[in-house]
């Protein structure tokens, strides 16, 4: 006589699926990219750096205006530097160009290598340092950064009085500025070509929430 087989237990019903959470169109904003190893600092973005540069430009403009008045007075007394408002004077162009280069180079390079920031950068809580360890830029790094930043615009200013060459250099300088802005904005560490060329990085004190 065959043994009676016990039927298998009935499968338990699957638990009811919980309703999906409502879909929201809002997403938390990503936190600013913090600087590895530098607590309290984030990489400085383009708008902050543009505002700082605008402040620095005002300061340099005031300094240049004062020295320009002095040079104009010397030129009028000797009759060699400024002969006419509308006539291109190569001597005056060279003198003003060299003075402008000296002022800008001294201002930026001295600020980067002694205070780690220009006046405009300091107002916005920014500073520039070595990209690898955050130390103050060396003179070589500061020179490289200054050349990459201001080289084309300096040439355009220097030859601005020559119609064709001046206009061409002015266009190239404008395109160079666009390129620097693009490379800075698209870099995860906000290092434009000038920063990568000089192995530098600009940071800003992070806001405490």
Per-domain residue ranges of the chain? 41-205
Q: What is the phi/psi pair of residue 121, to 5°?
A: -65, -40
pLDDT in single tens digits along all 209 residues of the chain? 455 555 555 555 555 555 555 544 444 445 666 675 566 789 999 999 999 999 999 999 898 888 878 777 766 433 444 444 445 566 766 777 787 788 889 999 999 999 999 999 999 999 999 998 889 999 999 999 999 998 888 888 777 667 778 788 889 989 999 999 999 999 999 999 999 999 999 999 875 44
The Cβ-side half-sphere exposure at 74, using a 13 Å CA radius, reads 10
Q: What's the whole-model pTM score?
A: 0.71
Contact between 104 and 60 under an 8 Å Cβ cutoff? The reply is: yes
Can you tell me the distance from the alpha carbon of 67 to that of 1, in angstroms, rounded to the nearest whole number? 121
Q: 3-state DSSP call for residue 34?
A: strand
The residue with tokens 């060396």 is 138
The Cβ-side half-sphere exposure at 118, using a 13 Å CA radius, reads 23
């Amino acid at each position: 006589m065959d043994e009676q087989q016990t039927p298998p237990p009935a499968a338990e019903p699957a638990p009811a699926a919980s309703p999906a959470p409502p879909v929201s169109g809002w997403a938390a904003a990503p936190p600013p990219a913090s600087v590895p190893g530098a607590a309290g600092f984030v990489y400085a973005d383009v708008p902050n750096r543009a505002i700082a540069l605008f402040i620095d430009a005002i300061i340099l403009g005031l300094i240049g205006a004062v020295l320009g008045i002095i040079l104009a007075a010397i030129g009028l007394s000797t009759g060699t530097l400024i002969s006419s408002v509308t006539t291109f004077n190569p001597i005056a162009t060279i003198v003003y160009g060299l003075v402008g280069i000296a002022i800008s180079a001294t201002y930026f390079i001295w600020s980067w290598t002694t205070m780690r920031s220009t006046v405009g950068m300091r107002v916005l809580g920014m500073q520039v340092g070595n990209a690898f360890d955050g130390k103050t830029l060396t003179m070589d790094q500061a020179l490289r950064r200054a050349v990459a930043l201001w080289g084309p615009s300096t040439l355009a200013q220097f030859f601005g009085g020559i119609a064709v060459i001046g206009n061409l250099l002015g266009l190239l300088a404008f395109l160079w500025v666009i390129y620097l802005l693009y490379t800075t904005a698209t870099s995860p560490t906000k290092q434009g070509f000038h920063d990568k060329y000089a192995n530098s990085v600009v940071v800003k004190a992070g806001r405490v929430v």
